[in-house]
Structures are given as C-alpha cells and as structure tokens.
Amino acid sequence: MRRFMIRLATLAAAATTLAPVAPTTAAAAQGLAFRPLQYNTNGYNWGGYAATGSGFSSVSASWTEPDATCNSSNDLYAPWVGIDGYGSSSVEQTGVATDCSSGSPVNQAWYEMYPANPVYLSLSSYPVSAGDHITASVNYVGSNRYTLKLTDSSRGWTYTTTKSTTAQRTSAEVIIESPTGAYPDFGTLNFTSATVNGKSLGSAGPVALDPSSNGTFEASTGGLGSGGTSFSETFLAE
C-alpha cells in the first residue's frame, strides 16, 4: 500500500509539472518598455499631444478601446496618459497595451514608472475588450508620490496604485506609442475628456506628434476639438 501511495504522489507531481499554466499576462511585456521619447529607437513612434513646462500635477483622458487588426506578430501599441517623458528620462504612465505576438490582438491594462519595468495587470481580474470605455489618470500627490488610476467602466473595474519616484514633472501627455515601431491597424481612436492640471489639454498649448517608422507615417494626429479636450488618432500604414 505504501508503494502504491508513493506511486500516486509521484504521478500527481508529474501531472502538476506537465500541466499547462494559464498565462497571467499578455505577451505585451516582451521586455519592452513604453519609454521617454528620446529613447525610442524605432522612429518617432509617439502620437498625440505633449504639454511642456514645469510643475505638472495631473493628466487624464478617456477613450473607447479600438478593435485592432494585427498586421504582423511584431505589432504592439498602447494609448496612455502620463507625466514626464517628452523631455526627461522618466515617465509615470498608465493605459492599455494591444499586443500581436500571439498572432491575434491581446488587450492588457498596464502601468509603468519608467525606468522601472512595466507592470501588466491580470487578464482575468482586469479584462479589456474592444469597445470598452477606458479612463486613465496620473496624479502627483506630493513627496515624490504618484497615483495612477485606470478604469474600464464597461467591465466595472478600477485599478489604482500609488508609487514613489523622483521625477521632473516637466511634461504631461495623452499618447499612443509603439515600442516596436509597428502599429496594428486600430482604425481611429478618439481621446476625450483630456485634461492637464485640471484644465483642458488645449489650454496647455501642447505639441502635436505623429508617429512614424523608417520615414513612413503610421498614424496621424487630428487637431484638438473646440473645447481643447478631444482629438483623434488615425492609423495610416502597416
């Protein structure tokens, strides 16, 4: 009997070892960070608006998550909001990444306190699908602390975290970015309710950015709406 029980325990252990483990994060990690603009090596791959100056304390925006189509397994991009990164070496940011390394688009919520690695939220606890309404914000709360908040109101979840870092707070952004320099076809993404320091994004006189790779523009950034709180990003090329 004892040998039989040992054999059962051995088989159970082997089954545990060989059983497939469900992934808790998308392949979006890929060892790639959503980095400050000057550190991007695949062209000018930020799109959107960056406000510059000093003492930025908050940024927020909303969007509907696009139904993206993968052109290749290299496609990876994210809409996000953040403080710093346009002219500094750090970024405090949060958004949703769409990753195509599996051959199909996988949407995953994330935040990053660059140069620390990005943190991807659990796909089961914080799911995101095309068509979901997303709101993201980053707030400086003092003593080198930042509160990052991401809400999927379509799914009924909110994720909030407060992290510490030393940063310059010399820019604030509402952005799309591809660390690989390759965007999936996301059609048109509309940012709304975009504010900086509690005022319209337009009041900050932001710089408009169009993402490009190897001299080819991959998306175009539309003009700010009349209230200065909305704009569109439109996919152009593979």
Q: Which residues are catalytic?
A: 177
Cα 173 from Cα 133, distance rounded (Å)? 19
Which string of b and e fits 53-70 if b means at least 16 CB within 10 Å?
A: eeebbbbbbbbebbebeb
178 phi/psi in degrees, rounded to 5: -125, 110
Find, among 103, 118, 144, the residue nearest to 31 by Cα: 118
